[in-house]
Amino acid sequence: MKKLIYLILIIFFACNNKKNNTALATTNSDKDAVRKAIINNYDFINNNNLSDSLTFNRFKTFYSDSFVLGPSEGNPLSNKETILEEWRELFKENKATFDLKINRVEVSGNLAYVLYHYNEKLTNIETGDLYFEVIQSAIAILKKDSFGNWKFEVLRWN
């Protein structure tokens, strides 16, 4: 089912790129808002203590209620609370830092996709020892909510 959603989203974006659709015209401010939403998510991780429950609850607001994670292996995960609870457990013991580079932003109406890559480091909070470091490429699909905020709808990295 989730693979079908991915396919539909890819077709949707491909079709909208070929049409001259003034109703869904993209402005630079749309792209800037999406770019800012991605950067704010990773800046929040870099600048906050996500081992704190209240802070982590604020972090969860970057993700839509229908958030789907497409892991590099296995089936997509579609329960936001379960996905983010696993991240919370990781952040209880480890501090994450991200060096982010956005490569492409495309917006169509209330949907956008972003291609980017990052260098991620996790260090143990107590000892300062490096837990792991990885360079990843990612694609995120964001959706604008009823308040005009861009939120992660789908995230996939390699």
Instruction: Quote the pTM value.
Output: 0.81
* Structural domain harbouring 109: 28-157
- Say if 7 falls within a structural domain: no
- Say if 15 falls within a structural domain: no
pLDDT digits (tens, 9 = 90+) for 101-132: 999 999 999 999 999 999 999 999 999 999 99
Please tell me the distance from the alpha carbon of residue 138 to that of residue 3, in angstroms, as a whole number: 17
- 158 pLDDT band, cuts 50/70/90, is confident
pLDDT digits (tens, 9 = 90+) for 42-87: 999 999 999 999 999 999 999 999 999 998 788 899 999 999 999 9
List the one residue out of 157, 158, 156 whose CA is nearest residue 5: 156
Is it the case that residue 140 has pLDDT exceeding 80?
Answer: yes
Q: What is the pLDDT of residue 20?
A: 44
Q: What is the pLDDT of residue 23?
A: 43
The CATH code of the domain that includes 65 is: 3.10.450.50
Across the chain, mean pLDDT equals 87
- Say if 106 falls within a structural domain: yes
- Say if 1 falls within a structural domain: no
- Say if 20 falls within a structural domain: no
- Kindly report the number of other CB atoms within 10 A of residue 110's CB atom: 15
Is it the case that residue 90 has pLDDT exceeding 60?
Answer: yes
Domain count, the chain: 1
pLDDT digits (tens, 9 = 90+) for 3-13: 545 544 555 55
